[in-house]
Structure 1
Amino acid sequence: MTDAISSILSQIRAHETLMRGPTADVAAGNAIKPQGLQPDAIGRGGDAPGFGDTLNRALEGVSRAQRESGELQKAFEMGDPRADLARVMVAMQESSVAFRATVEVRNRLVQAYQDVMNMPI
């Protein structure tokens, strides 16, 4: 049984070596840092925002929703006629859902990081 497994593994490795070519174990000169790009431009494909920018904007949106919800709640408690109960409740639910989604994204990112760190080299 182990001879069959070893045979299959050796065939897979041979196939991978053929697919990669003779310099598969040697990293290309531009594999780590693409040439022609400044260090600040890495990860930003032209005008597209990077992952960090997108994450910052999402966090700012959650923060803004929580701030507006708190302001509406305070205005309602102070008796402001423009802050009705329905608007306050909707704003509170929106900020709650946004916060829970952010926490879930954070948990997934942490799990992905831990998975990558636990990968064998």
Structure 2
Amino acid sequence: MSEINVNQLLAQMRTMSIEAGNKPAVSNDSGDFAAMLKQSIDSVNQAQNTSNELAASFETGRSDVSLAEVMIASQKADVSFQAMLQVRNKLVDAYKDVMSMPM
């Protein structure tokens, strides 16, 4: 039976927590909304492509892909798509509000 080094495990957890808490700084000169929206859509597309590739690999019987990996990738793709869909709905609502304003 292998022995777990608790101090090493705690150090790894602290490191991961710090990394998860670090958010990239947003610079003022890169505030192009269209570029940010395109990047978000590309990110969702990449998540869906990754999910499809993992599913296809699992279906063909590759031993390096587990069912858990496939399900997690699928859920990540679904959640990111649903988030993008909600952003789109909010943008459409905002557009309708602006267009219905009297001039």
With the length of structure 2 as denominator, give the TM-score of the two structures.
0.71
| Equivalenced residues, count | 77
**How well do the aligned residues superpose, as a CA RMSD in angstroms?**
1.3
Q: Which has the larger radius of gyration?
A: 1
Structure 1 residue identity aligned to 2:46: R
| Residue from 79, 86, 92 that aligns with 2:61 | 79
Q: What's the counterpart of residue 26 of structure 1?
A: none
Greater helix proportion: 2
Q: What's the counterpart of residue 90 of structure 1?
A: 72
Cα distance in 2 for partners of 1:100, 1:58 equals: 12
Structure 1 residue identity aligned to 2:44: V
With the length of structure 1 as denominator, give the TM-score of the two structures.
0.61
Higher relative contact order structure (alpha carbons within 8 Å, sequence separation ≥ 6): 2
| Residue from 91, 94, 99 that aligns with 1:112 | 94
Unaligned runs of 5+ in 1: 1-44
Cα distance in 2 for partners of 1:94, 1:82 equals: 20
Once superposed, which parts of structure 1, at least 4 consecutive aligned residues long, lie more than 2 Å away? Answer: none
Unaligned runs of 5+ in 2: 1-26
Identical aligned residues as a percent = 43
Cα distance in 1 for partners of 2:31, 2:67 equals: 38
